[in-house]
Amino acid sequence: MVTINDIAKAAKVSTATVSRVLNNDKKMSVSTETRERILDISTKLGYVPIRKRKSPRIIQTMKKNIGILMYCSQQYEWEDTYFMSIRKGIEKECNRKGLSIRKIIHLGDLGDGEMDDDNELRELDGVIFVGGPDKHEERELYELFGSYIVYVNNLSNSGEYDNVGIDYSYATHHALNYLFSLGHKQIGYIGGIEHRGQSGPEIANPRKIAFEETMVEHNLYNPSFVHLSKGFLINDGYESMKNVLKKEVVPTAFFIASDAMAIGAIRAIHEAGLNVPTDISIVSFNDIDVAQYTQPSLTTVRVYTEEMGKYAVNMLLDRFEEREIPVNVLFPSKLIVRESAVKLK
């Protein structure tokens, strides 16, 4: 079976160049000679894009083999059960629907170009991508699978592909309105930085955007109360809160972008001799299993990550059934009130 790697080697160009030429990407600047050389080689080698190889009649009867592409590394997934819960949902629904998960790839563990060279990936019928790809990955996946790909929580989704996400704006507004109802006005934000792919440009985090918009609407926004770290894990929250507590003015409450970060932040607060929620109230995000067992238990926004994974599987099945229009589904959320936030004294 001829691949774009074979064409790239024969034409002495990159796989990205081959992919964009074969997809007639008009935004790409490439010489006429190079373009004709690529097209000529692809014809001589008998290359056929995977998306054109799939006969609808065959798709309806064959046993489907799918892959799961995780934006994060395997270690990060272990530390942030948000991603693990999504994958768990995908695996459960695949098992229920008789789909075979043939390949699971953690892109955070791969070097540049390793995904391109994975021949097993080319034998799959479709993939579910958890997270957001960089532009190169997006092009390669389109070349391989066409419309047989579903993204879960792709923050840079352009609307061209199927995506299952969260209504971050509603969730954040709801969390802040709860803190307002408790009398808090000095409210801080602790979160991580999002990137497109592993090494792509920084992209706007919807929780941070919604936080800033809501605080501005209430004339309460203070940019010095916004604190960002590299990631969303326990140590990120711990180090961020340690830095916060060194400042002269400390907010009375925080909206923290993940439960893992909140757990680290609470540790830093306790080490400083302060108390949660008496001195500082906290509302976080995700409602991971351990959130109900922390001391104090976390008031947090529950997101239905496992259900998102299940829904992504059914969206992919819809594609196999020849649905052509891309769909973007936003899941709701629910504020779970526990012990980490109280009325301001």
pLDDT of 52 higher than 60:
no
Helix, strand or coil, per DSSP, at residue 299: strand
Nearest one of 289, 294, 271, 303 to 341, comparing CA atoms: 294
Q: How confident is the model at residue 171 (pLDDT cuts 50, 70, 90)?
A: very high
Q: Decide: 67 and 102 in contact? Cβ < 8 Å.
A: yes
Q: Which of 316, 199, 211, 313 has its CA nearest to residue 254?
A: 211
Please, what is the average pLDDT of the chain?
Answer: 88
- Distance from C-alpha of 217 to C-alpha of 149, rounded to nearest angstrom: 38
Higher pLDDT, 149 or 198: 149
CB atoms within 10 A of CB 103: 16
Q: Which domains does the chain have, with CATH numbers?
A: 4-53 (1.10.260.40), 57-166+305-331 (3.40.50.2300), 168-302 (3.40.50.2300)
The stretch 252-270 carries a mean pLDDT of 98
Global confidence as pTM? 0.78
Q: CA-to-CA distance for 233 and 263, rounded, in angstroms?
A: 9
| Distance between CA atoms of residues 161 and 326, nearest Å | 5
Question: Quick one: which of 11, 151, 176 has its CA closest to 69?
Answer: 151
pLDDT, tens digit, 9 for 90 and up, residues 82-130: 889 999 999 999 999 988 899 998 888 876 555 655 566 778 899 999 9
Position 55 scores a pLDDT of 46
Please list the residues that pair with 67 across neighbouring strands: 103, 127
